[in-house]
Amino acid sequence: MTRPEYRPLLVKSALNKVQGMPFKWSLNPYRGCAHSCHYCYARATHAYLDLGVAEEFSSIIFCKTNLPEVLAADLSKRSWRRESVAVGTATDPYQPVEGRYRLTRQALEVMARFKTPASIVTKGSMVIRDLDVLQELTAKAGATVCFSVPTIDPDIWRRVEPGTAPPWQRLRAMERLVANGVHAGIIMAPLLPGLSAEPERLAATVEAAAGHGAQFIGARLLHLEPGVRDYFLEFMESEYPTLHERYLKLYPVKYASSQYQALIDERVKDAKASAGFADRRPRFETQKEPVQLTLL
């Protein structure tokens, strides 16, 4: 893999207002991602910067160096209602560059100071470094960490998510957070038809998550954004040629059919039932009033 180039990026606002999602606000300390997951829908965002969705997405990473200061200004406004902020919706907040810039950690420290709850999505085990600030945020407002673990199959992981921490490292990191009072679980996203979405592999992931103390297990089927679809289908043709034709039929548009999505939902439900697993929602309170967190 190409060694990433890191470029500073100054922002006017740290928060993004979101529509059509189960959360109103998102925050992404970086643009681009060295994890290089081939299915990542966020690849399309690099096109807005006149960059490619393939290699450049994982080799040119933008770091929002003024994000902590701008976030503090956003959260200090009288209009801010301490609504939950989703961290890492378009890029992993704990990709390797976080070890150098620590922008995610600083953002969480700001949210703790302003009693703003957060939900975090990551494939990185570096989140353990921030256990102290996550505990503080949990006590003051509420925090949820969602580990993206689509599969524990080692071959699929190596091919599809080449720059990420191994799935078993993510599970151990989740287990440690839970043991230290941080609400954490997994989201199997995206599930890939013919691969991680197959019943036996899906059940194995659920069992592993339950065995590591996950407090919730969610799932989401692959969808292919315009601008990413062609890239991903080329990847499938190269790595999984026997599945390529199936993907062309399943994804004539962005989403698979509602019937297929319902089939996957049933598989997830059955796997959780077989594992005897029940989701546990957070019960956090601020000093003033309960905070309802949305699990991604």
Question: Does residue 293 sit within a domain?
Answer: no
Residue ranges for the chain with pLDDT beneath 50: 283-296
| The pLDDT of residue 1 | 57
189: left (phi over 0), alpha (psi -120 to 50) or beta: beta
| The pLDDT of residue 192 | 98
| The pLDDT of residue 48 | 64
| pTM for the full predicted model | 0.91
pLDDT digits (tens, 9 = 90+) for 74-107: 999 999 999 999 999 989 999 999 999 999 999 9
- Beta strand pairing call for 217-221 and 183-191: parallel
Question: Does residue 199 sit within a domain?
Answer: yes
| The pLDDT of residue 281 | 73
| The pLDDT of residue 47 | 67
Question: Does residue 189 sit within a domain?
Answer: yes
Cβ neighbours for 208, distance < 8 A, ≥ 6 positions apart: 149, 152, 167, 168, 171
Question: Does residue 160 sit within a domain?
Answer: yes
Domains: count for the chain: 1
Tokens of 88: 């890492």
Query: Rounded CA gap, 33 and 105, in Å?
Result: 17
| The pLDDT of residue 286 | 36
Question: Does residue 265 sit within a domain?
Answer: yes
- Beta strand pairing call for 25-27 and 16-17: antiparallel
Q: What is the CATH number of the domain that holds 47?
A: 3.80.30.30
| The pLDDT of residue 282 | 65
| The pLDDT of residue 226 | 87
What is the extent of the structural domain holding 16? 5-274
Write down the H helix ranges in 60-180: 67-75, 98-101, 103-113, 131-140, 154-160, 167-179
Query: Rounded CA gap, 88 and 124, in Å?
Result: 11
Question: Does residue 174 sit within a domain?
Answer: yes
Cβ atoms of residues 148 and 95 within 8 Å: no
Question: Does residue 284 sit within a domain?
Answer: no
